Each structure stands twice: as structure tokens, then as C-alpha cells.
Structure 1
């Protein structure tokens, strides 16, 4: 086991030190400039389209709603990364790591917009739903099915298996620390609850996550805001502390400047998934009149996750103190911080909250794998095997070590992000033309509707024909 952990650690060092940080920030900035800062210009528009119920399908029965698609991706985003990921980033990389999480979110929202817009453009209608995502736009837009299959395999391993082991690991740590519950008991409970939903299909996942995520997030945010208001006088100093550490003015645990950047970007990507290629799988399922609408909604998800929830968690941990070089693992550090501020009951609340957050993430993660297995080959046997593998990894994560499951996650999500960022860079002109079309229609006072003949090259686009709404 030590050999495996050392090998994974070496791969992570190469991948994150020399490649991913530059690529994620660099391309995020490039997309931001090329779209003329779409994530900031259209911020109010994001809320307008979030509950848009207009459809382009003549029957109006295909796919999920915009909000359901947002909830599926939020189910994966909002969870362990916000509570345990932020804590580990700050304890290892120092307070400056939070600054780099902000940077990734602000520029990465543009990457999130591009990937989700492309997912809508290249989505495929199938019975009563749509399928889409990076594997689909790689094949249909770049004409590289082999690369689409590679991506589909990696995202299935990353989300359905590795990330779900991270979620179950966090739950078991939280309950072991707070209630001294045997990890094997937690594993059994999680397996049963997960099996009930994943064998129920996509609609079941959408129904569960759209109920759990918003309510739980609101409760958590209110408690977090209460803690921050009570400690309002300390916030300015904490923000200054974050900026000072971000630029290496003070040495922090883990190696100073480099650690702050590396762990801020790593945990930021795990949390908000901007540019990683996961959210487009959920974005493609939505029934909307224009691809840009879902692109905007997924960009909003990046802000919601990092700027709001991660920031609140980070500031609470910092005002509690004792985080630098802490021996506690992720979620336990967050539990201690809340208990410090508002009493022992807070540790219980965090344990329950992380259970529900991480459980909803397991459901969202599962769907990403299911979607991509369907892309490789639509087989009931393959899907059944995948579901069993998901349940086994939930068990593995519940009993494995904290460092191992997080290290595995860093490797797989890094490879996945590189493939996706290559694809959306090559296809950016398609997303940019869709954005121009949306802008033109909004300026004309219209509620935008997209048709594929707007694009010069319609190769690989199976949906968005005028006949689908009866408009000839």
C-alpha cells in the first residue's frame, strides 16, 4: 500500500506542478477574454434562465428541466469539496489556498460556460431524455471517437468509482469522529441508500438531488453566515491573511507559495469542477431553447460552489484557529471549527450535513458514469456491472485511508481535465458563435431560440433542427 501511495504521489507532483495549474488558469483567462467576460456580464441573466420552463422539443417531455440539470451537477459540486476539501487545502497549503480557489472559480466559470454550451449543442435525443457531454462533443465535433471513448472511461473511473470513494471516506471519518460509529456500519448504510436510488434511473436521481441540495445548502449557508456575523470583526484580518499568504508574504505549512497555489487549485477543481468535463454531462440533459442558457446556469454553479460555500467554510476554519499543520483529516477539522464557534452540537450538525451532501454527490457522480457507459455501448449488463462497482467503491472509500483516496482523485481528475480542456479549446468557435446568436436575440428583445443552421459547420449536430418545433 505504501508503494502505491508513493507512486500516486509522484504522478500528482508532476501533473499538478508542471502542467495543470498553468493550463487551468491560462485557458480560463483565454475563455474569459474571448467571451468578453461572459461570466460577469451575464450574471443577472443566469438567475433569469435558471427557472426557464420553455422547451424546444415539440412534445415538451424530453429531458430534465434547467433547474434539475443544475441540481444534478450541484449534487456533485456541493459536498465533500466544500467542507473537507477546503479544510485540507487550508491546513496543508495555508490560508492563501483559499485565494487560489477564488481565482480558479472566477476565471474557470468561463471554461464551465463553454463546456456546458458545447454539451447542449452536441447532445443526442434518446427516448425521453438527452445524452451528451465531452465524450459526445469530442466524437461529433472533433470526429475522434477513440478519444471520446478514452474520456468516457476516465470519467467513469473518476466519478463513479474514485470520487465516490472520497465521498464515502469523508462520511465515515465524520461519523467515526463524532459518534464513534464503526466504518463498516457506515459502509453498509451507504450501500443500501445508494443502491435504492441508482437502480431507479436518472429521473430518480434528479428528484432526490433537487430536493436535498438546495435545502441543505441554504441551511448550511445560514449557519455559516451566523458564525461569520458573530465574528465579523475578525473577517477583515482573515481576508488580509488570505492575500498575504497567497502571494508568499508569510511562510505557510506545506512549502509556502507553491503549496498555497497547488492545494488551492487542486481542491478548487475538485469542488467546482470548472473545465473538468463533468458538469457538461448534466448540462446536456436539460430541455432548453438555447444552448447558452444552460452554459450560463452551469457557470452560476461554479460561483455558487466556490465563492459562496467554500469561502464561508474557509473563513470559519480560519477564525477558529489551529488549522496550520493540523493532524486532523479534512472534515474533522471543519467539525472542530464549527464546534469551537457554536458549541458541541455543531459537530453533530456537520456530520449529518456531510452525510447528506456527500450522499447527494454520490448520486450525481454515479450519473456521470452511467451517461458515459451509454456512450461507449448501450448495454444492460455493462450498466449492471458498473452499478455493482460503484457500490464496492463506496465500501472501499468508507474503510480506506484519507490520503490514498484523495491522491487517487487528484490523478484521475487531472487527466480528465486535460482531455476536456483540449476538446473545448478546439471547439471554442462553435460555442462563441452560439453566444453571439444569443446576444443578438436578447438585444432584439427576444427570448432566444437556437437552430443549428446558425452555425457554418453543422457536422455532428443531431439536434436543434427547425422541424423539432414545427418551425420550417
Structure 2
């Protein structure tokens, strides 16, 4: 049997499924859900921007050996969201669909932030507490507790594990090693890729065998450092070429509203590519970030919902825009050369154009940093869902971690075309399941938002009690046992208020 021909056939076949699922089902569903919850929450992702930042400094609500803070949970989710796609993905969208894709990317970030708020608030409401004080949760957990469908939660969990632990992590590893091609043209065949793979799995093993606490600490260090460094380079590039900005924005908006081009083929148009880049880069509504959101120890579910909306902005409006500005400045200065490039080479030449050859070295470093943080964030999501399926399996967890490390090593030394398509398909399945679930359960997140808004108007630091929402399906946390004394808002007073309070829309 010709395995090369068989592999190509599978790549083509899965590519068609992937393209159909995303173009005609998933993008439409993601946009609909984002707009729906933007309306239902009255634009919570805009109204409460100030609160998104103030909640970052909140200390742990309930102390535990392995519980993590709101900021650490933000860094875990941002670590997974911010990957090589934020660098090469933007360049690919611009090269394939045109500069206008950037505008639609920005718009979808604003809309998608509402979906991110709902799913992360639900993850907080239906989180559970582990033996060592850590919190776990996510779509699988709120599907089981809120909808009473554990079988569907298991399907979601398996789809996420296959997508993130074995698909996306292999791809991130491949992108890391392929960034060395500029320096070592034959890196794939001279043993360099194997060496990188060994080093990478050693570093990854150190983090993932340390558990959620170590993962959150590592990501809370790597993510801010790499993001700040990348932003500094982008801002320097923009300021140094500030005279090009009118042409940059003019090109973006002209391309974004080129309706003749859009009508000629919507599936591959600048609008569709911008929507894909915006939504799939920040993963809003896809069901991945809620796994990190659930781990935070906060006094009210809405607080982490707002923080996770901020993560969408960090990913798309900040990091992706940095990539976009560097690419677009190069685009207007040398359109012929820029149009001939795609992906990573386009980014490398764009940075080289602005700050010289050192820019190529910086991008290589950024690829390694972004990809490693994604490896850690993706693994964290997978572990959460593995624990959901197999609740008490110490040796099973060891085997699972070893298999995850093997997938990373395999990604360093092999092309992942088939794995990319399969990962996209699995992510499509999990996203469809999650979007339907949050549409059905969204009223409880909206009720929690009403409760949060009421307490904020009363000048209180919001504290949530599940019994304050009539009819809410039972959840493990958010009982009186979880509530410490909050000074001006003591528990006794809060419980008395909650007993007589009826959430708007659920009377």
C-alpha cells in the first residue's frame, strides 16, 4: 500500500470536512451566539470594561493548597489563546483574504467577548472542588450539572482531549522547530528536531507533573513577559513608521468593505477569513477557556466571566493587532514583495523591514515563547477533561501525561497536516456542543449578571450564593460554606438579602 498517497487522500478528505464545518456551520453559529448574548447582556463586554481590570487584583476567595487567583486563571487561558496563530495566522489571513480581514477580526473580538463571558461564568457556577483544594470545571461539568447529560459531557471531553493534547500541542511543537529553518535549513534531517523535541518534553514534563498550581505560576510569568516584549517591538515599529498609518488604515477599511470581492465568493472572502481569525484565535465560545476560568477562586462567578472577556481583548485587539500593524506597514511600503509572501516568512520580512535582521531573531524567540505557553495551557485543558472522565486514576494520569509528551515530541519531528485537519474537526465538534449548551444554560449566567449588577449598584463587593437564583440546577460550590465574612457585606446579612431576592427574568 502506498502510505504517502493514502495520507494525502486522508488530508484532502478531512480538509473538505473541516472547510464545510467551519464555513457553513460553525462560523455562522459562533456569530449568532455572540450577537445574541451581546444583546441579552446589554453589551456586558463594553459596559464592564473597568471591572475587567479591577477584578485582576482580587485575592483568592477561598484559600486552598492548589487553588489559584483570578489573575493566574487569566494567564492560563491567555497562554492557550495566544499561540503561533497570533503571529503567522494574522499574516496568512492578510495574504489570503486581504488586509480587510483585520477589521472583521476586530469586530468579531468585540462580539465574541460576550460568548466568552457567558461560558466562563457558567464554568464558575458549576465548578467542583478537588481533594487538594483546587477547583475544576468547564463545559463538560456544566453540561452534566446544568443539563443533566453526563454522556454528552464525556463526548465533549474526549473531543477536547484529542484536539488540544494530541492535535494542537503537536502542531505548536512543529511550529517551534520549523522556526529554526532560517538558521538550519536541514534541521529536520540532521538531528536538530530530535534534540529540540527532547529538550521541549523535559521542560514540559517539569511543568505538567507539578499540577495546576505550577502551570498557573509558569504561565503567569511567561505570558506577561512575552506579550510585553512583542508589544514593545510592534509599538516601536508603528511609531517609527507613523507616517504610514493613514495608508495602513485606509487599506484595511477599503479592503474590508470591498463588496464586489465579497459577493464573488463569500466562503473565501475577506469577511469570512477575518471572522475565522478573530473567533478561532481568541477561542470565544469554543469551550476551551472555561476550563481555566473554573479554576479561579473568586467571590462571584461574573468576576471571572469579565476577566475571561478581557483575555479575548488581550489576544485579538492587542496581540493580533500588533502582528497586523507590523505586517501592514510592510504591506504599504513594499506591496509587491509582501503580496508574494505568506505566513511566517511574511512576518519575518515585515519585522526585518522595520528593525533589521535582529527582528528575525526576535520573531524566532517569540514563536518559541508563544508556542511553549500554548503547550502548557492546552495541556491544562486536556487534564481537566481527563479528570472529568476518569475521576480517580493516579496511574492513569501518569500514562496520560506521558502520551501528551509523546505527542509533543512527534510534532517536533513530523509534519502535522493530517493532525491539523483532525484537530480542527474535533474542535468543531466540541464548539458546536458548547454553543448549544450555553444557549440552553445562558439564562443562569444572565441571572448571575443581574445579581452582580444589583450588588454593584448598592456599592458592595459582589458575593454570590446559588440559592439567590430561584430554580437554578444544583451546583457543588456557592453555598454558605463557601462564604467568608466580607466586612461591610457579612455573610448573615447577605444570606438574609438573598432569601428574599428574585432575579430579574426568573421570578
The TM-score bracket by the shorter chain reads over 0.9
**Structure 1 residues 4, 224: CA separation in 2 closer, same or farther (over 3 Å shift)?**
same
- Higher mean C-alpha displacement, 442-451 vs 333-342: 333-342
**Structure 1, residues 400-446: CA drift from partner, whole Å, max 9, x if none?**
33644543333222222111111111001100000000000000000
Q: Aligned with 2:297: secondary structure?
A: coil
- Structure 1 residue 449: Cα displacement: 0.3
- The alignment's C-alpha RMSD in Å is 1.9
- Structure 1 residue 110: Cα displacement: 0.2
Find the counterpart in structure 1 of residue 170 from structure 2: 165
Find 1:110's aligned residue among 85, 93, 114: 114
- Structure 1 residue 20: Cα displacement: 1.3
Alignment of 1:95-244 (within 5 A): 95-127=99-131, 128-180=133-185, 181=187, 182-244=192-254
Find the counterpart in structure 1 of residue 50 from structure 2: 44
Find the counterpart in structure 2 of residue 338 from structure 1: 351
Find the counterpart in structure 1 of residue 92 from structure 2: 88
- State the alpha-carbon separation in 1 of the partners of residues 463 and 350 from structure 2: 48
- State the alpha-carbon separation in 1 of the partners of residues 48 and 163 from structure 2: 31
- Structure 1 residue 30: Cα displacement: 0.6
Find the counterpart in structure 1 of residue 488 from structure 2: none
**Structure 1 residues 117, 381: CA separation in 2 closer, same or farther (over 3 Å shift)?**
same
- Structure 1 residue 43: Cα displacement: 0.4
Alignment of 1:19-38 (within 5 A): 19-38=25-44
Find the counterpart in structure 2 of residue 352 from structure 1: 365
Find the counterpart in structure 2 of residue 468 from structure 1: 482
Alignment of 1:184-333 (within 5 A): 184-249=194-259, 251=261, 258-321=268-331, 322-324=337-339, 326=341, 328=342, 330-333=343-346
Question: Does structure 2 retain, via aligned residues, the 8 Å contact 1:268–1:306?
Answer: yes
- Structure 1 residue 255: Cα displacement: 6.1
- Structure 1 residue 103: Cα displacement: 2.0
**Structure 1 residues 221, 241: CA separation in 2 closer, same or farther (over 3 Å shift)?**
same
Question: Does structure 2 retain, via aligned residues, the 8 Å contact 1:102–1:307?
Answer: yes
**Structure 1 residues 91, 393: CA separation in 2 closer, same or farther (over 3 Å shift)?**
farther
Find 1:362's aligned residue among 375, 378, 381: 375
- Structure 1 residue 348: Cα displacement: 0.7
Q: Aligned with 2:316: secondary structure?
A: helix
- State the alpha-carbon separation in 2 of the partners of residues 124 and 23 from structure 1: 29
Larger Rg: 2
**Structure 1 residues 78, 315: CA separation in 2 closer, same or farther (over 3 Å shift)?**
same
TM-score of the pair, normalised by structure 2: 0.88
Structure 1 residue runs of 5 or longer lacking an equivalent are none
Find 1:415's aligned residue among 406, 417, 429: 429
- Structure 1 residue 325: Cα displacement: 5.1
- State the alpha-carbon separation in 2 of the partners of residues 85 and 115 from structure 1: 25
**Structure 1 residues 406, 93: CA separation in 2 closer, same or farther (over 3 Å shift)?**
farther
Find the counterpart in structure 1 of residue 440 from structure 2: 426
Q: Aligned with 1:427: secondary structure?
A: helix
Q: Aligned with 2:87: secondary structure?
A: helix
**Structure 1 residues 12, 261: CA separation in 2 closer, same or farther (over 3 Å shift)?**
farther
Query: Is 1:15 the counterpart of 2:21 in the alignment?
Result: yes
**Structure 1, residues 233-291: CA drift from partner, whole Å, max 9, x if none?**
22222222222222335759x96773323332333333211011111100100000000
- State the alpha-carbon separation in 2 of the partners of residues 233 and 441 from structure 1: 48
- Higher mean C-alpha displacement, 380-389 vs 72-81: 380-389
**Structure 1, residues 188-232: CA drift from partner, whole Å, max 9, x if none?**
221221122111111111111101101110111011100011122
Question: Does structure 2 retain, via aligned residues, the 8 Å contact 1:81–1:270?
Answer: no
Q: Aligned with 2:129: secondary structure?
A: strand
Question: Does structure 2 retain, via aligned residues, the 8 Å contact 1:92–1:324?
Answer: no
Structure 2 residue runs of 5 or longer lacking an equivalent are 1-6, 332-336, 485-490, 493-507
**Structure 1 residues 262, 178: CA separation in 2 closer, same or farther (over 3 Å shift)?**
farther
